[in-house]
């Protein structure tokens, strides 16, 4: 991780601090003023659920922003909270950093703002590493699944990957991924890869798609150095893609976990 990325994450963690003993959920709007946002408005927004626009000129120290949230998004829902947190993350990152690594850094910063690490880690340590546990954490913090996974991986309670396979033209394609700090994705886990490039044809991924229920077990994985074995949990999710719900499978790859 570069110095600027580490600084952005550290700044986000400082801004997101909550009193000891405070209970989730934590509204991301509490970080607006420290991020330089002077106005929040609900208007039609194109291409995203929320965005920030820099106010030109001014004499105040640091940039000032207007935060716009699409008026079709219901306030204080996981979708709202995630959109606001992602927009606020843009105020802490340069344009280049925000767009780097497939948006990974922007999501990591947003996760810090929405899911403060100290209370989140305490909750994560008491949560089963299952799909139901993931949904429970996301519900408790009123956060999107993706940001919850990012923070869960960064919490140190387990080590591994999260891979989202979206069905396109009948084929599962990798469209989103997350990893524990310090881990590297195998070559077959590049964004846009088809499931067959990484997983065996007997993978429980296909069982989950076919039957619609969660599955877990040891998976045969094609890695550059040869075949490896991952303990993986699969769960069916529905993602909104251009206004159309699309079936997808989320895979939680558990390489190690803290007792």
Same domain, 141 and 179: no
DSSP β-ladder status, 50-55 and 64-70: antiparallel
141 with 147: CB under 8 angstroms?
no
Output the six-digit token pair for 214.
Answer: 């969660």
Counting the structural domains of the chain, the total is 2
**Domain-ending residue, one of 134, 154, 174:** 154
Residue-level length of the chain = 259
- As beta bridge partners, residue 219 has 230
- Cα 104 from Cα 81, distance rounded (Å): 18
Same domain, 54 and 150: yes
Same domain, 196 and 215: yes
Output the six-digit token pair for 103.
Answer: 């948006």
Phi, psi of 36 (to 5 degrees): 90, 10
Whole-model pTM: value is 0.92
Same domain, 207 and 141: no
- Per-residue pLDDT for the chain (259 aa), expressed as one digit of tens each? 555 788 889 999 999 999 998 999 999 999 999 999 999 999 999 888 999 999 987 666 778 999 999 999 999 999 999 999 999 999 998 765 555 555 789 999 999 999 999 999 999 999 999 999 999 999 999 999 999 999 999 999 999 999 999 999 989 999 999 999 999 998 889 999 999 999 999 999 999 999 999 999 999 998 777 788 999 999 998 776 555 667 899 999 999 987 6
Residues 241-252: tens digit of each pLDDT: 555 667 899 999
137 with 127: CB under 8 angstroms?
yes
**Confidence at residue 6, expressed as pLDDT on a 0 to 100 scale:** 85
Same domain, 68 and 107: yes
49 with 70: CB under 8 angstroms?
yes
Same domain, 8 and 130: yes
State the residue range of the domain holding 223: 158-257
Task: Tell me which H or E stretch contains 74.
Answer: none
Same domain, 145 and 166: no
Same domain, 150 and 171: no
Residues 12-43: tens digit of each pLDDT: 999 999 999 899 999 999 999 999 999 999 99
Give the closest residue to 87 by CA, choosing from 29, 142, 4: 29
**Domain-ending residue, one of 154, 187, 214:** 154
Same domain, 210 and 128: no
Same domain, 216 and 147: no
């Amino acid at each position: 991780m570069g110095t600027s990325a580490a600084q952005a994450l550290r700044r986000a963690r400082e801004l997101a601090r909550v009193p000891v003993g405070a209970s989730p959920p934590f509204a991301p709007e509490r970080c607006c003023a420290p991020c330089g946002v002077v106005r929040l408005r609900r208007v039609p927004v194109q291409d995203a659920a929320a965005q920030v626009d820099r106010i030109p000129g001014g004499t105040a120290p640091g940039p000032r922003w207007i935060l716009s949230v699409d008026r079709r998004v219901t306030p204080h829902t996981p979708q709202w909270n995630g959109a606001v947190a992602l927009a606020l993350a843009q105020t802490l990152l340069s344009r280049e950093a925000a767009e780097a690594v497939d948006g990974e850094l922007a999501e990591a910063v947003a996760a810090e703002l929405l899911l403060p690490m100290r209370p989140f880690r305490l909750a994560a340590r008491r949560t089963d590493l299952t799909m139901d546990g993931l949904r429970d954490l996301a519900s408790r913090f009123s956060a999107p699944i993706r940001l919850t996974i990012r923070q869960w991986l960064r919490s140190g309670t387990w080590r591994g990957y999260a891979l989202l396979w979206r069905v396109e033209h009948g084929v599962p394609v990798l469209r989103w991924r997350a990893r524990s700090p310090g881990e590297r994705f195998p070559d077959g886990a590049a964004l846009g890869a088809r499931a067959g490039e990484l997983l065996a044809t007997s993978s429980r991924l296909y069982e989950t798609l076919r039957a619609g229920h969660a599955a877990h077990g040891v998976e045969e994985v094609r890695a550059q150095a040869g075949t490896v074995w991952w303990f993986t949990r699969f769960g069916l999710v529905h993602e909104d893609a251009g206004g159309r719900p699309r079936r997808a499978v989320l895979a939680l790859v558990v390489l190690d976990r803290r007792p």
